[in-house]
Structure 1
Amino acid sequence: MAGRDILNKMKEKVGLSSSSAETGKGKSKMSKHVTHGYHLVKGKSYHDMEDYVFAQFKNVDDNELGLFAIFDGHLSHEVPDYLRSHLFENILKEPDFWTKTEHAIRKAYRVTDKTILDKAVDLGRGGSTAVTAILINCKKLVVANVGDSRAVICKKGVAKQLSIDHEPSKERKLIENRGGFVSTFPGDVPRVDGRLAVARAFGDKSLKEHLSSEPDVFMEMIDCDTEFIILASDGIWKVMSNQEAVDCIKNVKDARAAAKHLNEEALARKSTDDISCIVVRFQ
């Protein structure tokens, strides 16, 4: 086995992936019915792959956590790579994670963003969106996000979005209250200060006075109607609705095959962005 193949296998085993290891899978030890798979595709842009994935089941004391995340970088692969390595670590070391989970996640997001800004000399001027999902003992799902990567859950064949797309046009007043502005020039996409097409993100030091890293947090209980969840970067959501994505993979039982199939469908619909996708199946 070549050195690169060995490295990719190691990354798959610990749930880390970028463009160098584009696919992986895993399963819960607590419930044999809960599995995950992920797949990444580099877009048609000339820069390096800027999407990063984290997908791993982890035992903490007597609990099992499923940790899943999509980090979609812009002007940088350093910031999403840093998030992949540190965000969950920061969340789990918050002392009130088990008792006040939402508060702990919000605090960890703020702490992580501050560290990224303090390390801007090393991590560069870019930033990253994030959507994280923590599955607690296969029973409770806690989703948080900044930016436009998205989490969708499927119950009885019906799609339900568990995150909010933080678009500049929707948060114009908040941006203007911070002294910024939203403009569609150049181009036709609303951007913060005419530069960034999302209203919340990690990093982006030059825009930070006008840009929030405060996540929206949602909780969903896993029940017998829950079929699967999808976490994906906007390379999918630019060309597919939530229900279209759910319908696309509802009959694909293998989680990794489902993630790959969803990415291939996005490509068939002419998505040109980097695409990353995680599917967690419960049945």
Structure 2
Amino acid sequence: MEDAVTVAPRFASVGTAPYDFFGVYDGHCGVSVAWACRDRLHVVLAEKVMATSFSRVDGELALKEREVGSTASVAVVGPERIVVANCGDSRAVLSRGDMAVPLSSDHKADRPDERKRVEAAGGVVINWDVYRVSGVLATSRSIGDHYLRPYVISEPEVTVTNRTEEDELLVLASDGLWDVVSNEVVCKVASQCLSGQLVRKVPDGAREHRAKEAAIILAELALSRGSRDNISVVVVEL
């Protein structure tokens, strides 16, 4: 298991407004970078803005882990906005009314703009079972993986979304879920869990535990659909 997650309620505040932090990290070639992201990224974020935080943690790992890396999909949830930073192919999706709204875009090696960036830096994208940077890595951005620089970079894409009354929940998960379950189905299942329609493992279905139950059920759904990748899921009730 090379995945890791972070759940840090009220990790920072601006005035009297609290901000919560959530993160999913999908490691590859080892667990060390995913664990470093889990332990450090939200701490650094409390001091710096999103993009700088990714770069700083990546720099801390440069001399330690040249051939180990991790995706990172993180969200800072405040009273008025949701800020998501993504690096790699983990994903954040917002359930808003009847819609599943992606708040991040996967960094796959075959994404046209990412492939163009890799090739402009002198790299190649090779189709060996799936498209991979230098024939090795299917993600075009990650934290770590310094042996693939400058083709694979740690710079995240950041989105800022204003919250509305229709916002019900946010799901962050590694590609072990998204590769086999659509955004729409993920949001529908999580919504049913939060409403009490799907509650099995949490005693008495206490509402404060339903988000955890939703994450468990989504992971089991991915396994039942044949996912062979590591699966990490965080469900945030808004």
- Flag whether TM exceeds 0.5 (same fold): yes
**Residues in 2 aligned to 1:197 and 1:249: alpha-carbon distance in whole angstroms:** 28
1:118 to 63, 87, 95: 63
**Residues in 1 aligned to 2:33 and 2:2: alpha-carbon distance in whole angstroms:** 9
- 1:75 paired to 2:29: yes
- 1:106 paired to 2:42: no
Q: CA deviation at 1:244?
A: 1.5
Instruction: Check 1:209–1:246 CA distance in 2 against 1; reply closer, same or farther (3 A cut).
Output: same
Gaps of 5+ in 1: 1-48, 95-103
1:131: which partner in 2? 73
Q: Deviations over 1:221-269 (max 9, x none)?
A: 2221111010000000110111111122221111111111111111111
Question: Does the 8 Å contact 2:94/2:170 carry over to 1?
Answer: yes
Q: What letter is aligned with 1:110?
A: S
**Residues in 1 aligned to 2:190 and 2:168: alpha-carbon distance in whole angstroms:** 11
1:271 to 219, 227, 231: 227
User: 192-201 vs 248-257, which deviates more?
Assistant: 248-257
Q: CA deviation at 1:60?
A: 3.5
Question: Does the 8 Å contact 1:157/1:250 carry over to 2?
Answer: no
1:203 to 134, 140, 144: 144
**Residues in 2 aligned to 1:106 and 1:276: alpha-carbon distance in whole angstroms:** 23
Question: Does the 8 Å contact 2:67/2:144 carry over to 1?
Answer: yes
1:56: which partner in 2? 8
**Residues in 1 aligned to 2:155 and 2:172: alpha-carbon distance in whole angstroms:** 19
Give the TM-score of the pair, scaled to structure 2. 0.88
User: 149-158 vs 242-251, which deviates more?
Assistant: 242-251
1:262: which partner in 2? 218
Gaps of 5+ in 2: 195-209
Q: Deviations over 1:157-196 (max 9, x none)?
A: 21000001001111111111111100013xx200000000
SS in 2 for 1:252: helix
1:32: which partner in 2? none
**Residues in 2 aligned to 1:154 and 1:86: alpha-carbon distance in whole angstroms:** 28
Following superposition, which runs of at least 4 residues in structure 1 exceed 4 angstroms of deviation? Answer: none
Which structure 2 residues correspond to residues 224-243 of structure 1 after superposition, within 5 A? Answer: 224-243=165-184
**Count of residue pairs the alignment pairs up:** 219
Give the % identical residues. Answer: 36
Q: Deviations over 1:5-25 (max 9, x none)?
A: xxxxxxxxxxxxxxxxxxxxx
SS in 2 for 1:152: strand
Which structure 2 residues correspond to residues 18-37 of structure 1 after superposition, within 5 A? Answer: none
Q: CA deviation at 1:59?
A: 5.3
RMSD between aligned residues? 1.2
**Residues in 2 aligned to 1:267 and 1:165: alpha-carbon distance in whole angstroms:** 21
Q: CA deviation at 1:87?
A: 0.8
Q: CA deviation at 1:58?
A: 2.0
Q: CA deviation at 1:199?
A: 0.3
- 1:93 paired to 2:47: yes
**Residues in 1 aligned to 2:172 and 2:58: alpha-carbon distance in whole angstroms:** 21
Instruction: Check 1:60–1:200 CA distance in 2 against 1; reply closer, same or farther (3 A cut).
Output: closer
**Residues in 2 aligned to 1:160 and 1:220: alpha-carbon distance in whole angstroms:** 10
Question: Does the 8 Å contact 2:190/2:211 carry over to 1?
Answer: no
SS in 2 for 1:239: coil
Give the TM-score of the pair, scaled to structure 1. 0.75
1:10: which partner in 2? none
